[in-house]
Structure 1
Amino acid sequence: MVSFGNLARKIFGSSNDRRVRAYQPRVDAINALEEEIQALSDGDLAARTDMFREQLAGGAKLDDLLVPAFATVREAARRVIGLRPFDVQLIGGMILHENSIAEMKTGEGKTLVATLPVYLNALEGKGVHVVTVNDYLAQRDAEWMGQVYAFLGMTTATIVHGLDDDARRAAYAADITYATNNELGFDYLRDNMKYDRQSMAQRGHHYAIVDEVDSILIDEARTPLIISGPLDDRSELYNTIDAFIPMLSEADYEIDEKQRSASFTEDGTEKLENMLKEAGLLKGESLYDIENVAIVHHVNNALKAHRLFTRDKDYIVRNGEIVIIDEFTGRMMPGRRYSEGQHQALEAKEHVKIQPENQTLASITFQNYFRMYTKLAGMTGTAATEAEEFGNIYGLEVVEVPTNLPIARADEDDEVYRTAEEKYKAIIEEITAARNKKQPVLVGTTSIEKSEALAALLKEAGVKDFQVLNARYHEQEAHIISQAGVPGSITIATNMAGRGTDIQLGGNVEMRIEQELQGIEDEAERAKKTAEIRAEVQKLKDQAISAGGLYVLATERHESRRIDNQLRGRSGRQGDPGRSKFFLSLQDDLMRIFGSDRMDGMLQKLGLKEGEAIVHPWINKALERAQKKVEARNFDIRKNLLKFDDVMNDQRKVIFEQRLELMDSEDVTEDVAEMRHEVIDTLVSRHIPEKAYAEQWDTAALKEEVGQYLNLDLPIEEWAAEEGIAEDDLRERLTAEADKAATERTERYGPETMAYVEKSVVLQTLDHLWREHLVNLDHLRSVVGFRGMAQRDPLQEYKSEAFELFQTLLSQLRMHVTGQLMRVEIVQQAADAPQPHEPDTMEAHHIDATTGEDEFSEPPAIGGGAAVMAPSRMVAASERDPNDPSTWGKVGRNELCPCGSGKKYKHCHGAYA
């Protein structure tokens, strides 16, 4: 029986079909302009950019210009790079212009699609950001598509790791900026640690198109970008606690694989308490006393390290370091570290050198960074399964764009075996059969361990000519992928997500030309060799097509349907034939976690013999339901994390906006005076109870704190003894004396010098307190979950306590700033006054999901935008030797250069630093 919903879809099409059809009139309008625009000269075509800008200045809207602008870009692309966007690519461009996600299959030309909305939105002159997942793609796409933009009179730039601040500012000033998600996020954080507006790199967040949007906004959403500085070494504590875990039995703890959590039973807690007492680490009697919060955190991390983290699956040990393996891509992620002591717990478990923990100086999640953009859009091959999350969190609708040519890939039903041994035996037979008929095979695995086990089985079966692509060998990745479509090739890949290189049947022509023509200078020889390679690849492509195209053979289902779809999507590119099939066993992680015991019993009753598989669409549907459950759980986790992060994000926005206001102010004297008056109000209300008699006032304590915070020695006790004195009278006298002292200090040092010092003190104090506040929020976050046991909502508890902590921060800011400024003594000229500077040592951490490399793990270029900053200190002018720059310390950019040239430092020696 056909449901009404299915019947309606058959007659009217799905909502996605209807939306795609709605773009057709504009596609027709663009096509109608093609002949007219093709007749234009290069100069006239390029001049259309200025014409569009004039129309915008005259009140036209971007939507009014969409048809002529898209037609212009299509013709420019055809002339400059020899690519003419298909009609479906025009539709993809319109979707991106409308703040949505364009889901386009692998090989459908997303890079070219982006040029259409990028050009249109760049006409406004506010800057457009195109976000990619690694430096290579950012540079490749910017150089490739930059030719089109340059032809049309627009500037293009690329942000990559290692650029200095000046280069970054110039890149953000371009009409179109290609950059990685990491670079954009860290530049934002670093900008908000700067001390003057001119040194900031970014100029706003207007419009961004995120490539591989599911990888960046879903897979990486749970990992914040962090700029941090080191804390004290606590390696002894980690080693001591690590030694306790092997002494526990399975009855002492409970493991939940689904939730990735571990906890101690009552017996286990008692054993641990005794061991901790003997080691002198337990304060009080109970492990869960409030003063033992840090110890609880450490023992939980140690238990997780031993029972939830598996070597060669979650991490590997390389060169005496723990290197994390990305669960989605199977890549090594050098430089990436688990936070909150978990990485140190793994180092203790594996008995390698324990690296010190870091204190967070600034952080932001990609969720909150990309939500700052006025307009946001994305593109990927797989987004539909996460459409709800994109809609709820980012307000992005997912629209599936039809392929230019029909998909010819055959997606076969899964084969399910009872045991892993039977499954692998069937896989080896299938790979051998495909190789014998010269069909290229891409084998997908879910971990390094499994890819290497399969490689060993292939060798045993006499198959030796295959390639393994996983985190251990990712250096050869591009070459391996470029040849994965050659007839008879076998490529084993770990979590084959978007790798940035197309698998083309017969092999990748451009990659081969690049490799094989290295060192050949003669143009005739190069042309001859190029023609030979193209002919050979075409012949190999025909052979691969006749063998059935690329065969994607998966050895397991991932917990996310999207990752499975990415793997399937590697085959069937641009209408090529292909085939995909998943081989499963009841011992696979997903099957085991979601109740394969009942299925095993049922299959045995049905008489399933050894080596036989069950193949049925119902099995696929049951597995999809299991995957949906996992996806829903992961979505809930990310949604919950976002709720907590939103609390910090709201406070971050307040602090960062306050910093910008301070930097933009020439003079913060009024703000400082307001802080001083609020401090006086606080001191008076603290020591003079409301409606109390003068004899009840605590004048001694008030006098002491006035000395401490206002640096004034005043006869407060004598004032209080006066007949008829009121609280307001006392407050007015204190305010008058404090203002008088501040005025005298300004007259003594000069208004300009004092304004500079005030601004510096306020900014530095604000930053110092904000960093302490981040640490406090981290600690609160790690313990607030326990409030749930008392039937209190952890999120509400976190919100209220985080608010109280923030109020404390603001109060401390007023106190600290007032205390410093009422004591400041300036013995140098204004140019030599202490300049605010970024923290002595900073490290930036976040992993690139596509390359597996931490782009911020090494020191940047000199003067560079700062993953690791060298320590710096202020040096008095009298102590500087003009001939020895090592004695200068930190020099202000606008100071006269200490070398004596008479130029400003930034135009002299500072030009190189």
Structure 2
Amino acid sequence: MMGIGTLAKKVFGSPNDRKVKATRPIVEKINSLEPDFRALDDAGLKAKTTEFRERLAKGESLDSLLPEAFANAREAARRTLGLRPFDVQLMGGIFLHQGNIAEMKTGEGKTLMATLPVYLNALTGRGVHVVTVNDYLAKRDADWMSLVYHALGLTVGVVVPGMEESEKKVAYDSDITYATNNELGFDYLRDNMKSDLAQVLQRDHYFAIVDEVDSILIDEARTPLIISGPSQDRSELYIAIDKLIPELTTEHYDLDEKQRSTTLTEAGNEYVEVRLRQMGHLAHDTTLYDPESTNIVHHVNQALRAHVLFHRDKDYIVRNGEVMLIDEFTGRMMQGRRLSDGLHQAIEAKENVSIRPENVTLASVTFQNYFRLYDKLGGMTGTAATEADEFFEIYKLGVVEVPTNKPVIRKDNDDQVFRTAREKYEAIVVEIKRAHEAGQPILVGTTSIEKSEALSEMLKAAKVPHNVLNARYHEQEAGIVAEAGVAGAVTIATNMAGRGTDIQLGGNVDMRVVSELERAEKEGRQADPAAVRERIETEVAAEKARVLDAGGLYVLATERHESRRIDNQLRGRSGRQGDPGRTNFYLSLEDDLMRIFGSDRLDSMLSKLGMKEGEAIIHPWVNKALEKAQGKVEARNFEIRKNLLKYDDVMNDQRKAIFAQRREIMESQDLSEVTGDMRRQVVDDLVAEHVPARAYADQWDIDGLTTRGREIFGLDLPFREWADEEGVDDTDIRERTNEAVDRLMAEKEARYGEPTMRAVEKQVLLQTIDQNWREHLVTLEHLRSVVGFRGYAQRDPLNEYKSEGFQLFEGLLNRLRSEVTRLLAHVQVMTQDEQQAMIAEMQARAQAQAEAQATVQQGALAAAQASVQNRVPEMAGGAAAPTYAPGIDPADPGTWGASGRNDPCPCGSGKKYKHCHGRV
């Protein structure tokens, strides 16, 4: 019987169908305009851009311009790239412009699709950011798509690590900027540490399109971006603690693989305490539970995590003496990323490489809060539907599934589950060999470098030629992926998210042409590019026919990832643009996901069924069970991210307030009113603290007021005399103090000049804000690490964090006022005359020192010459021959006596004694 929901869908269509349907009239309008735009010459396309901008300036909306702008961009793509966006790409472009995520299958042309909404939104002149997962894709996409944008009269920039600030500034000032999520986030933080508006790089957060949106906004959003500075070096302690951890056995700690956590047991605590006392790191009268042991306990916990939870060639690799983290979702090295809280240092100690000091946070932001800065956000990926709720809840992004250009005819087989990993891998090797011999290209997905290399060894033993693509060899990835569709090719890949290169059946013509021409150039041969391309196109077409006959690309996964999206990304490599293909997942009960999520019951059930060695269970129910397990993991990860965000939202409100204040200060030319208000507030607080309202004069703290007045303003004010006057109250004290402080600042301004004081006020404000904000971040970090324990007292940790965080922020603002006022009251600025006088004095002092030094050197030279003349009379031929005082034998050091360090050596070598026999 058909369910009500299913019946309603049949009648009304799903919400996704309705969204797709709504775009059809717009697509038809764009198509109807195509002949008009084809009739334009190249200059006409650029002229259209100018016309659109003028119409926008007159008040026309982007939505009304959309059909014409898309038609113009489509024509530019056709002329420059030879690619005409399909109707489904126009649909995807419309969804992106509306601030949605367009889910499009692999090979449907997401990179080209993005040019349409990018062009439309760039017409505003506010700048559009296209965000990619790595530098290679940022550069590649910018180079490739810039042909389209330049034909339309727009400027394109690309931001990658290691660029000069001036180059980045040009890139951000372009109409369209390609960059990675990391660079955008870090540049945002750096901009908010600058002290001059001219140095700020990012001009606006208007519209961003995020490629591989699930990878960036979900997978990478678990850890915030942090700009940090070095703290004290504790390398010796890390090394010492690291030597202790391998002594521990499984009875000394508990391991929770689901939560990725590990803690010492009671036995472990006792053992560690004894060993730390023996090593001299714990006093004999101290236990690990004492407050003073907090630091050592933290080091032990991090070392334990490094050994038990982090595995080489899975979570990180060691390259050139450096521990490089690996992104579990993309299998890539995360250049420059380090684990915080001393965990990275613990791994460095474990791997016996150089330990870099821990860092203190100078600025931080989560990806969630960075991307929520944009007025409008769009995203594209092959797999987003499974995380639609999270995208909407956190980013207010809808997910729309865009239909494929051609129907998908790929066969997705049910999972095959083996009892042991050995049986599974043996079956995999047999299957790979069979596909290879049949001429079918096969892409093998693994979950770690270690497993990809173990499988590679098995294939070598079976004499199956293959390529391995993982974090070790990611430099060659584009070439390996491009050739993965050749008949009989075997490619082993860790993860296929965000590779950005399509696997084309028969091979990639463009890449082959480039490599052929490069080879000819190296060998000094002349090659005709057109002839080379024609030959390669013929070869690839014949190769493609062979592959299609063999069944298209075969994707074989060796394990299920804990996220279904990663599995779907791998699956989506096959069956692009209506090509045939098939996918298969080979699993065993010893796989991490199966083992952690209750394979015991399944194992006993399979035993009862009497499964033989090498047999697999294949049933849709198994797929359903695995999907549920993956759903549980994804739900848990969502909770972790949501929790991180709730805490970061507290800091984010404060961050935005501080950054907005900094921006206002940098943009202002005159801050005297701001500093004046701060000064009066400080005086109010000071008087209120020491002279309570409606209190008698003998209850006033005059000594405290005098001391604090001297500390803050540098003034000895006659508070005692004022207090002895008849009828003086707290209001009079406040007014007189304000008058005295205002007079002091007016005198400074008269002496140094107004422009100088305005510049000083700006610098003092910015530096004080930065210093106090950094200290505030450290305090919030410490509060965040301990506030969880409030839960034991039946108090909500998040509410506690909010209220205490707010109190800390109020304290920060009070400190800012007080410190800015104190610094400005004490500041001494040199006038131009004083600067000149100081420079002249320094020059005179330097000259006097130089003359004195020259006199000493001349005296020493004369003495040395006299000494040499006494010892070395001239020989007949004009050369000097050594002569020695009576009783000195140059061959017998015992006769030399005490020689001066700078005297010639008595051995007759001609060198000074300190450089010869007197050398230490």
Give the total of aligned pairs: 839
Q: Secondary structure at the match of 1:332?
A: coil
What do residues 861-901 of structure 1 show as CA deviations (whole Å, max 9, x unaligned)?
A: xxxxxxxxxxxxxx9798699xxxxxxxxxxxxxxxxxxxx
**Pairwise mapping of residues 406-805 of structure 1 onto structure 2 (< 5 A)?**
406-463=407-464, 465-518=465-518, 520=520, 525-805=528-808
Residue of structure 1 equivalent to 2:183 = 183
C-alpha displacement at 1:393, in angstroms?
A: 0.5
What do residues 104-147 of structure 1 show as CA deviations (whole Å, max 9, x unaligned)?
A: 11111111111111111112221111112223322322232222
C-alpha displacement at 1:288, in angstroms?
A: 4.4
The AA in structure 2 aligned to 1:637 is I
The AA in structure 1 aligned to 2:706 is K
With a CA cutoff of 8 Å and minimum separation of 6, indicate the structure with the bigger relative contact order.
Answer: 1
What do residues 519-571 of structure 1 show as CA deviations (whole Å, max 9, x unaligned)?
A: 64687633222222111111111111111111100000000000000000111
Q: Percent identity?
A: 64
1:328 aligned onto 2:329: yes
Q: Secondary structure at the match of 1:23?
A: helix
Checking the alignment, whether the CA contact within 8 Å between 1:283 and 1:291 is kept in structure 2 is: no
What do residues 362-418 of structure 1 show as CA deviations (whole Å, max 9, x unaligned)?
A: 221211111111011011111111111111100000101111111121110000011
CA distance in 2, matches of 1:620, 1:100: 30
Checking the alignment, whether the CA contact within 8 Å between 2:104 and 2:402 is kept in structure 1 is: yes
Pair 1:694–1:270, CA change in 2 (3 A): farther
Q: Secondary structure at the match of 2:410?
A: strand
**Pairwise mapping of residues 290-305 of structure 1 onto structure 2 (< 5 A)?**
290-305=291-306
Residue of structure 1 equivalent to 2:40 = 40
Checking the alignment, whether the CA contact within 8 Å between 1:273 and 1:282 is kept in structure 2 is: no
Checking the alignment, whether the CA contact within 8 Å between 1:132 and 1:138 is kept in structure 2 is: yes
Pair 1:832–1:339, CA change in 2 (3 A): farther
Checking the alignment, whether the CA contact within 8 Å between 1:226 and 1:363 is kept in structure 2 is: yes
- Greater shift in the superposed pair: 337-346 or 76-85: 76-85
1:102 aligned onto 2:102: yes
Checking the alignment, whether the CA contact within 8 Å between 1:409 and 1:579 is kept in structure 2 is: yes
CA distance in 2, matches of 1:63, 1:334: 40
Pair 1:683–1:282, CA change in 2 (3 A): farther
Residue of structure 2 equivalent to 1:866 = none
- Greater shift in the superposed pair: 95-104 or 701-710: 701-710
CA distance in 2, matches of 1:687, 1:540: 90
Residue of structure 1 equivalent to 2:405 = 404
Residue of structure 1 equivalent to 2:881 = none
- The structure in which a higher percent of residues are helix is 2
Residue of structure 2 equivalent to 1:20 = 20
1:394 aligned onto 2:415: no
In structure 1, runs of 5+ residues without a counterpart are 834-874, 882-913
**Pairwise mapping of residues 108-147 of structure 1 onto structure 2 (< 5 A)?**
108-147=108-147
Checking the alignment, whether the CA contact within 8 Å between 2:133 and 2:498 is kept in structure 1 is: no
What do residues 145-180 of structure 1 show as CA deviations (whole Å, max 9, x unaligned)?
A: 222222222222222333323332222222222222
Checking the alignment, whether the CA contact within 8 Å between 1:753 and 1:830 is kept in structure 2 is: no
Residue of structure 2 equivalent to 1:910 = none
Q: Secondary structure at the match of 1:442?
A: strand
**Pairwise mapping of residues 362-373 of structure 1 onto structure 2 (< 5 A)?**
362-373=363-374
The AA in structure 1 aligned to 2:697 is A
1:360 aligned onto 2:361: yes
CA distance in 2, matches of 1:412, 1:519: 42
Residue of structure 2 equivalent to 1:814 = 817
CA distance in 2, matches of 1:721, 1:751: 38
What do residues 201-232 of structure 1 show as CA deviations (whole Å, max 9, x unaligned)?
A: 11111111111111111111122222221111
C-alpha displacement at 1:515, in angstroms?
A: 0.9
Residue of structure 1 equivalent to 2:196 = 196
Residue of structure 2 equivalent to 1:149 = 149
Checking the alignment, whether the CA contact within 8 Å between 1:273 and 1:286 is kept in structure 2 is: yes
CA distance in 2, matches of 1:678, 1:111: 55
Checking the alignment, whether the CA contact within 8 Å between 2:130 and 2:208 is kept in structure 1 is: yes
CA distance in 2, matches of 1:15, 1:549: 33
- Greater shift in the superposed pair: 774-783 or 337-346: 774-783
The AA in structure 2 aligned to 1:697 is W
CA distance in 2, matches of 1:244, 1:687: 56
Pair 1:831–1:514, CA change in 2 (3 A): farther
The AA in structure 2 aligned to 1:106 is T
Pair 1:249–1:684, CA change in 2 (3 A): farther
The AA in structure 1 aligned to 2:325 is I
Residue of structure 1 equivalent to 2:86 = 86
Residue of structure 2 equivalent to 1:346 = 347
1:381 aligned onto 2:382: yes
CA distance in 1, matches of 2:477, 2:833: 56
Checking the alignment, whether the CA contact within 8 Å between 2:207 and 2:376 is kept in structure 1 is: yes
What do residues 432-455 of structure 1 show as CA deviations (whole Å, max 9, x unaligned)?
A: 110110111110000111111111
CA distance in 1, matches of 2:261, 2:637: 14
C-alpha displacement at 1:188, in angstroms?
A: 1.4
What do residues 282-339 of structure 1 show as CA deviations (whole Å, max 9, x unaligned)?
A: 6985534555443333222122112211222222333333222221122333432111
In structure 2, runs of 5+ residues without a counterpart are 845-920
Q: Secondary structure at the match of 1:553?
A: strand
Checking the alignment, whether the CA contact within 8 Å between 1:412 and 1:581 is kept in structure 2 is: yes
Checking the alignment, whether the CA contact within 8 Å between 1:282 and 1:292 is kept in structure 2 is: no
CA distance in 1, matches of 2:824, 2:840: 22
CA distance in 1, matches of 2:642, 2:420: 36
CA distance in 1, matches of 2:360, 2:544: 54
Pair 1:381–1:198, CA change in 2 (3 A): same
Checking the alignment, whether the CA contact within 8 Å between 2:273 and 2:282 is kept in structure 1 is: no
C-alpha displacement at 1:277, in angstroms?
A: 5.4
- Greater shift in the superposed pair: 54-63 or 559-568: 54-63
For the pair shown, which has the larger CA radius of gyration, 1 or 2?
Answer: 2
Checking the alignment, whether the CA contact within 8 Å between 1:131 and 1:138 is kept in structure 2 is: yes
What do residues 250-271 of structure 1 show as CA deviations (whole Å, max 9, x unaligned)?
A: 3332221111112233443344
CA distance in 2, matches of 1:831, 1:358: 41
Q: Secondary structure at the match of 1:511?
A: helix
CA distance in 2, matches of 1:815, 1:454: 65
CA distance in 2, matches of 1:383, 1:877: 69
Pair 1:627–1:878, CA change in 2 (3 A): farther
CA distance in 1, matches of 2:610, 2:457: 31
CA distance in 2, matches of 1:272, 1:746: 64
CA distance in 2, matches of 1:878, 1:303: 61
The AA in structure 2 aligned to 1:623 is L
Q: Secondary structure at the match of 1:551?
A: strand
C-alpha displacement at 1:67, in angstroms?
A: 1.4
CA distance in 2, matches of 1:623, 1:372: 37
The AA in structure 2 aligned to 1:598 is R
CA distance in 1, matches of 2:131, 2:448: 28
- Greater shift in the superposed pair: 762-771 or 302-311: 302-311
Pair 1:484–1:519, CA change in 2 (3 A): closer
Q: C-alpha root-mean-square deviation of aligned residues, in Å?
A: 2.2
- Greater shift in the superposed pair: 221-230 or 484-493: 221-230
Checking the alignment, whether the CA contact within 8 Å between 2:520 and 2:527 is kept in structure 1 is: no
Residue of structure 1 equivalent to 2:58 = 58
